[in-house]
Amino acid sequence: MARDVRQFSDAEIERLVKFYEQAEREILDRINRALLRANKTEYLVQMKRNIEAILQQLREGNRTWCTDSIPRVYSEGLKNADAMLKDAGFSVSAGFGAIHQQAVQVLAENTFQRLQDVTQVIGRQAEGIYRDLALENVRGAVAGYETWKQAAKRYRQQLAEHGVTGFKDKAGRNWNMRSYTEMVARTTTMEAHLQGTANRLVEQGHDLVKVSTHRGACEKCAPWQGKILSITGKTPGYPTLEEAKAAGLFHPRCRHAYGLHIDLDKEIEELEAELDMQLETDENYTNKQEYGTIKIPIDKILEEAAKNEPQITQDMQRIVTQNGGRLEGLEFRLKSRSSLEEKATTMVAGGVDEENVLSGIYDVVRYTDIIDKQNFTSHYFSVIDSLKRNGYKVKRVKNTWTNKRSAYKGVNVVLEAPNGQMFELQFHTPESFDVKQNKMHKLYEEHRKNTTSENRKLELENEMFEISKALEMPAGIERIKNIDLLRGD
């Protein structure tokens, strides 16, 4: 959590606490006045009425605070997530949709209930004081003014020491109004902020977050530092955010936060997908033995692709060339049978259902468009526009140039042709293409070998990042935003 976010929540919490402090002062003032005005019943009744009015103000204030502050803090949570996503190269165009409005409503209602509980406790305490005093008043009427003065003095002392609102909770902890209100405000604002962040990340298709680390972490949080958590519980193999919270992480005043986690292994897998054009010519690597067990209609997919491809290739050649680009490696535009089998096998091994494997492969037909870095961005938009005018639909855009965590640099677009064929179009600068085909490929080959040690793998990953860092970014590349209409397919 960034410092300004904490300061922001602190300001909201302070506002509520001040409001309660003022209410407490006013209640004390009313009681003291009643105590000083001697033992007249009408003063006590007046006191009771005044206190009720103050409590009514508190209830209204609770409502206002919940409907103001909770959405504000939640929105800060959204902004926090947007900053994480932006940092990772994703564009965020999502606003404050129905999911968020609903979440905020639930959070605000929840907080309101907890604050109403606080107000109720205060009300009960004030009621108790009134009853005690009324009783003294009756006694005083019998025993005389001196007795009343003594009782009043005793009460004033007691109130000065403990305030009107000291109470014990179910767990036996002592609270006063300030500490209790602050605790409720702190817990609920933290919850609103965490939920805003989590909901946005999930909405944008991200489930994994990593818990921050700091020195001197408390006992409850320490085991969670640096851990990767699943927000929804849908990613197998990770503890959930809820489990971590239930175990004490993100307690009130907790200084821990979480950041978007992008799985490096997954990045490497994606790099593998990008490199498979090269790999298929590599005879040393094959998974064919394992393929025997998978029953998928590979022939049908390849036949279909071979039938649809000529029209797409014709359009691609025309459109790319007209806009100053050049198609590279056109002879590899159809994925080979062995490469498709290979990819399907890897996907099944990675947990994808066999029935869904082929519908998840979009690059059976694929093209690479090379354009220099000065013209890259404008060329990209001209080509995409031309394709759209020719009936092509953009299904996914992945711009990894802006993703600091991706070693692979390129813009990969999945399109649907008018004939229904899905295919991939990659945009590269001559330099990024060279890195992908040559430098990265060698490192990657070593990385994927089972015999490569974990330490060596880390070295190789670092090397891949060093190489990609040395690439010059195409001008205006940040204008190419990620799009994903395939998620959930």
- How far is the C-alpha of 57 from the C-alpha of 380, rounded, in Å? 60
Least distance CB 211 / Zn ion (angstroms): 9
If one counts every other C-beta atom within 10 angstroms of the C-beta of residue 317, the result is 14
Output the residue with the shortest Cβ distance to Zn ion.
221
Least distance CB 244 / Zn ion (angstroms): 10
Least distance CB 258 / Zn ion (angstroms): 11
In a 3-state reduction of DSSP, which class is residue 400?
Answer: coil
Least distance CB 261 / Zn ion (angstroms): 18
- Could you tell me which residues are beta bridge partners of residue 394? 415
The candidate with the shortest Cα–Cα distance to 204, out of 192, 196, 212, 216, is 196
Least distance CB 243 / Zn ion (angstroms): 15
In the sheet with 422-428, reading across from the earlier edge strand, the strands are 326-328, 366-370, 422-428, 411-416, 393-399, 483-484
How many Å separate Cα 3 from the centre of its chain?
Answer: 18
Least distance CB 15 / Zn ion (angstroms): 24
- How far is the C-alpha of 453 from the C-alpha of 117, rounded, in Å? 58
Asked if residues 193 and 5 have their Cβ atoms less than 8 Å apart, the reply is yes
Binding site residues, Zn ion, CB under 5 A: 221, 254, 256
Max distance between CA atoms of the chain, in angstroms, equals 110
- How far is the C-alpha of 453 from the C-alpha of 459, rounded, in Å? 10
How many Å separate Cα 307 from the centre of its chain?
Answer: 43
Amino acid at 310: P
The candidate with the shortest Cα–Cα distance to 274, out of 447, 424, 487, 458, is 424
CB nearer Zn ion, residue 252 or residue 329: 252
- How far is the C-alpha of 324 from the C-alpha of 377, rounded, in Å? 12
Least distance CB 188 / Zn ion (angstroms): 17
Least distance CB 213 / Zn ion (angstroms): 10
CB nearer Zn ion, residue 222 or residue 349: 222
How many Å separate Cα 380 from the centre of its chain?
Answer: 30
Q: Parallel, antiparallel, or unpaired: how do β-strands 167-168 and 393-399 relate?
A: unpaired
DSSP 363: -
CB nearer Zn ion, residue 77 or residue 163: 77
Asked if residues 272 and 239 have their Cβ atoms less than 8 Å apart, the reply is no
Least distance CB 255 / Zn ion (angstroms): 6
Q: 192 is written with which tokens?
A: 């609103």
